[in-house]
Amino acid sequence: MTLKDRHGAFISLTDTPGELAVKDNICVQGFMCTASSKLLENYEPPYTATAVQKLQKQGLTVMGKTSCDEFACGSTGTHTSLANPRNPLDEKRVPGGSSSGSAIAVKDGLVRYAIGSDTGGSVRCPATFCQIVGYRPSYGQISRYGLMDMCMSFDTIGTLTRNVDDAIYLITGMSGKDDKDLTTMNSVDVKETPGLAGKRLVAFRQILESCDPGIREKFNEATEKAKLHVDVIDFPEIHKSIPTYYMIVFAEFASAMQRFDGKFFGKNRELLGQEVKRRILLGTFISQKENKDKWYTQAINARKWFQQKFEAMFAKYDFVINPTMPSPAPLVGEITDPITEYSMDLGTIFPSLMMGPSISLPYQGMGIQLTGKRFSDSALLYSARDLEGAL
Ligand code: GLN
């Protein structure tokens, strides 16, 4: 198989059969780690990410490293010059990003399991567009050691699988405290728990209204089919989650990218793609002393506001349910401006702000997403398994 074949899933690939594909922003010894960027085209990391090490101990073999949006920045999967990822269900369409290659590899049956990273939706978006299951664990559930930072305070390693059972298998294997990542201190073991019966579900009217009518219809059809009772409530401020998330992403991303100075680490920064450059410029601007209070500090305060709001909401409800993405997979080249691309993330960003786990299940071309409070991973996974059976 040549690398560019098979819908552009892989950046590098071994000849030996394996059952695990790893997004190319997660370090695995013996493989290059490019983050789908020309800047790191020849970078070979001297160590393996903790999450991958744990899966290897469990007996899984890494088959290859998968393409993604450069440094995990994007929602289409096509912001890279190292691969040409396409949606396996319709090659005219994007696979979704940023963990595009991992979703393609699973959908095409090249591997059974894939992992990616999810900062604001990057496993759930491609899982939706490629019609598989995407899981973002609670922040702190899985070690980020060996994952290249995009935005440290939101980044998680997540899974892309054909079904919820496979996600449970991977999450169980990867979870746990790691001395190399202090945010994992409170990681909770995943174990079988009661599922969806009796769980209280809520949806936000403003997210439903932001979706294409066809997506809304299928969402209603799915909840009826699964006999779910969903309270639909107003949450107009949810629209502010997008600028809140992106301000924090820009600032942390610009800071994380400083290490690639072209002297000690990485090649010439001119090789970076447009989206990455945009984020570095904006992040540098809003982090400057004279601008910081106006943009970055406000975003940090807004994140706190969202966290409090969700804490109160999770006293009343177990899970938030919504369509993962507001529209079907866009055509390649259809999205030409960043604001349109950022606004696609309305359904996937709020779990990042409040650090909770979130899963997307495929349903008739769309995604049904369930989100729980932080460290409710077991309840969420086993409820999602029930929902999967009912759809
Ligand atoms: N689309 C979002 C962004 O570009 C999410 C990316 C991600 O989760 N890595 O920031």
Q: What is the dihedral of CA 202, 207, 212, 217, to 10 degrees?
A: 10
Structure tokens at 205: 């009217």
Q: Kindly give the pairing relationship between strand 62-66 and strand 20-23.
A: parallel
d(CA 379, CA 196): 8
Percent helix, strand, coil in the chain (nearest 5)? 40, 15, 40
User: Ligand 1 mean position to 229 CA, how many Å?
Assistant: 31
Residue in 37, 66, 67, 69 to alter for ligand 1 test, most ligand atoms within 8 A of Cβ: 69
- Taking each continuous run of H as one helix and of E as one strand, the counts in the chain are 14, 11
User: Ligand 1 mean position to 347 CA, how many Å?
Assistant: 12
Residue in 150, 279, 325, 353 to alter for ligand 1 test, most ligand atoms within 8 A of Cβ: 150
Query: Can you give the pLDDT at residue 2?
Result: 54
**Alpha helices per DSSP H over the chain:** 5-8, 50-57, 100-107, 124-129, 164-174, 205-209, 213-225, 241-256, 274-287, 289-292, 298-316, 338-343, 346-353, 377-390
Query: Can you give the pLDDT at residue 293?
Result: 87
Structure tokens at 86: 């396409």
Domains of the chain: 10-235+306-390 (3.90.1300.10)
- Calculate mean pLDDT across residues 107-114: 96
- Calculate mean pLDDT across residues 38-54: 95
Supply the residue whose CA is at minimum distance from atom 3 of ligand 1: 74
- Calculate mean pLDDT across residues 344-369: 98
The tokens 């059969």 sit on which residue? 17
Nearest atom, ligand 1, residue 345 CA: 1
d(CA 125, CA 122): 6
Calculate the average pLDDT of the chain.
96
Q: For 316-356, how does the pLDDT look when each residue is reduced to its tens digit (9 = 90+)?
A: 999 999 999 999 999 999 999 999 999 999 999 999 999 99
| 72 C-beta closer than 6 A to ligand 1 | yes
User: Ligand 1 mean position to 122 CA, how many Å?
Assistant: 5
| 146 C-beta closer than 6 A to ligand 1 | no
With beta carbons less than 8 A apart as the criterion, state whether 70 and 36 touch. Answer: yes
Q: For 141-175, how does the pLDDT look when each residue is reduced to its tens digit (9 = 90+)?
A: 999 999 999 999 999 999 999 999 999 999 999 99
- The partner residues of 135 in beta bridges, in order of sequence, read 159, 359
The answer to whether residue 3 scores a pLDDT higher than 70 is no
Name the band, by pLDDT with cuts 50, 70 and 90, for residue 292: confident
Classify 239 in phi/psi space as left (phi over 0), alpha (psi -120 to 50) or beta: alpha
d(CA 272, CA 189): 39
- For 10-63, the DSSP string reads EEEE-SS--SEEEETTB--TTS---TT-GGGTT---SS--HHHHHHHHTT--EE
| The model's pTM | 0.97
Supply the residue whose CA is at minimum distance from atom 4 of ligand 1: 74
User: Ligand 1 mean position to 345 CA, how many Å?
Assistant: 8
| 345 C-beta closer than 6 A to ligand 1 | yes
| 118 C-beta closer than 6 A to ligand 1 | yes
- Calculate mean pLDDT across residues 194-198: 96
Query: Can you give the pLDDT at residue 262?
Result: 73
Name the band, by pLDDT with cuts 50, 70 and 90, for residue 115: very high
Query: Can you give the pLDDT at residue 21?
Result: 98
Query: Can you give the pLDDT at residue 5?
Result: 60
Structure tokens at 43: 């970078």
What burial class does residue 270 get, using C-beta atoms within 10 Å of its C-beta: 0-12 exposed, 13-18 middle, 19+ buried?
exposed
| 318 C-beta closer than 6 A to ligand 1 | no
Q: Which residues are catalytic?
A: 23, 98, 122
Name the band, by pLDDT with cuts 50, 70 and 90, for residue 260: confident
Measured distance between the N- and C-terminal CA atoms of the chain, rounded to whole angstroms: 35
| 346 C-beta closer than 6 A to ligand 1 | no
CA nearest 48: which of 190, 178, 187, 188?
Answer: 178
- Calculate mean pLDDT across residues 235-254: 98
